[in-house]
Amino acid sequence: MKIGFIGLGNMGAPMAANLVAAGHEVTGFDLAAPAPGGVSMAASAAEAAKGAEVVITMLPNGTILRAVAEEVLPAMEPGAILLDCSTVDVASARDAAAMAAEKGLGFLDAPVSGGVGGAAAGTLTFMVGGEDAAFATAKPLFDVMGQKAVHCGPAGNGQAAKICNNMILGVTMIATCEAFALADKLGLDRQAMFDVVSTSSGQSWSMNTYCPAPGVGPTSPADNDYNPGFAADLMLKDLRLSQSAAEAADADTPMGALASALYAQFVESEDGAGRDFSAMLPRFEKRGRS
Ligand code: NAD
């Protein structure tokens, strides 16, 4: 397939490289990042989109997505699809879909889970919103860049699934960290705590797969001095998206709101800046220390 790829940062570069390795012809554009191997770079986003059957975007936020969509949609071929894999607000995804529809073009919002490691290994999970026909066209690309693509409904529903998932993740990570800090104070060994919780009803991905306690459970960023991994500021971005969506939809999300406030505090503190989102554990450990 002929593909345009806009936004070749930490996630976009390995995703584009996997498409090239699978035999697709990829033309890229980024304001700053260098060309990944095998990707020929265009001078602008519109140029990267010209002649492409699918234009993929992997950008920082919804404001940038809207600006890029305005630029590339007029340059796209009839019948082509704009496939946005960034994590953005639901409203920006739905507006981009409407802009594409006005021009007779397809649009899918397909945010991912799996991080930089999953992007490099081609094992991402895609949560996809948009029309059936566009999903069917993009499916072979999802199969190259990931291991699973779930069609969640119309445009915006991929972003809805992503922020609901990450709201649960933020809340369970905080709960797991505060429980470890409580266990410490109660004299409960961390390994024993892991052995019980990871096989009991308190289990979660935060405990079982990404345990925030160093030396306990599978290897995780906790074993690498809390270097990300999934940076706390990216978790904060997703929690803020969940809270603005909740406000717009009049949904009651008190735990999500509290998780968002705690991560905001954490990211601003010296404990949290630049660290993995599981570094909440050392933050809770500090309480009571002089
Ligand atoms: P990044 O900052 O490494 O990459 C974004 C790229 O977009 C940069 O190279 C930047 O130069 C480029 N860019 C910005 N504005 C542009 C424009 N107008 N035209 C062209 N290029 C432009 O970020 P990332 O980690 O690759 O994340 C990308 C998206 O994926 C974000 O929405 C993020 O929330 C989401 N995401 C990231 C992770 C992760 O672990 N990094 C995991 C899941 C989802």
Radius of gyration, alpha carbons of the chain: 20
Each residue of 75-90: pLDDT tens digit?
999 999 999 999 999 9
Host H or E run for residue 63: helix 62-72
Q: Stretch 87-109: mean pLDDT, rounded?
A: 97
288 pLDDT above the threshold of 60: no
Residue 25, φ and ψ in degrees, nearest 5: -95, 110
Judge whether residue 289 has pLDDT over 70: no
Q: How many CB atoms lie within 10 A of CB 251?
A: 12
Does the structure show a pLDDT above 80 at 231?
Answer: yes
User: Average pLDDT of 110-116?
Assistant: 93
Ligand 1 pocket list (CB less than 6 A): 6-12, 29-33, 45, 58-60, 64, 68, 86-87, 112, 115-116, 230, 234, 237
Q: Percent of the chain at pLDDT above 70?
A: 99
* Mean pLDDT confidence for 94-117: 96
Categorize the per-residue pLDDT at 290 as very low, low, confident or very high, splitting at 50, 70 and 90. Answer: very low
CA–CA–CA angle 259, 225, 193 (5° rounding): 65
Measured between alpha carbons, how far is 148 from 164 in angstroms, rounded to an integer?
Answer: 18
Catalytic residue among 148, 162, 237, 286: 162
Which ligand 1 atom is the nearest neighbour of the CA of 61?
32
- Ligand 1, atom nearest to 113 Cα: 43
162 is catalytic: yes
ipTM given for this complex: 0.99
* Mean of all residue pLDDT scores within the chain: 96
Band of residue 271 on the pLDDT scale cut at 50, 70, 90: confident
pLDDT band for position 204 (cuts 50, 70, 90): very high
What CA–CA distance (Å, rounded) separates 56 from 16? 9
Mean pLDDT, residues 127-136 taken together: 98
Q: Give the pLDDT confidence of 27-77 residue by residue, as tens digits.
A: 999 999 999 999 999 999 999 999 999 999 999 999 999 999 999 999 999
Distances in Å between the alpha carbon of 148 and those of 32, 81, 111, 141, 280?
30, 20, 12, 11, 30
Q: Alpha carbon of 206 to those of 220, 224, 231: distances in Å? A: 10, 16, 14
